[in-house]
Amino acid sequence: MIEIIVNVGLVILAISILNCLYRVLRGPTRADKVIALDSLGVNLIGVIALLSMKFHTEAFADVILLFSILSFIGTVAASKYFEKGVIIERVRD
């Protein structure tokens, strides 16, 4: 029973990732693309959690935390680039 539920969840997350990918490719502005990539990362975290249930292992638990950290830092870096034009500035103005 749990196998069927995990498989259905994986299919739904795959459809959600495809929708995010459409927004990444056809987003009108750059901000749309960044938000779509961020939510694609969140969906990917869900996929990893479901796969670790499917494979009966706990070795992927670190990957989930690592993905969320990297997704957050990537989104912050992109927003800072859009806002200021530089990512690491020498002196704050």
Please give the residue ranges that form the binding site for another protein (CB under 8 A). Answer: 59, 62-63, 65-66, 69-70, 72-73, 76-77, 80, 83-84, 86-93
Neighbours of 29 (CB within 10 A): 9
Question: Which of 17/63 has CB closer to another protein?
Answer: 63
Tally Cβ neighbours within 10 Å of residue 34.
Answer: 19
Nearest residue (CB) to another protein, 22 versus 72: 72
Q: What would the two tokens of residue 6 be?
A: 């995990």
Q: How far is the CB of 62 from another protein (least distance, A)?
A: 6
CB-based contact 78:34 (threshold 8 Å): yes
What is the nearest approach in angstroms of another protein to the Cβ of residue 53?
A: 17
Q: Closer CB to another protein, residue 3 or residue 83?
A: 83
Could you say which DSSP state residue 85 is in?
S
User: By three-state DSSP, how is residue 28 classified?
Assistant: coil
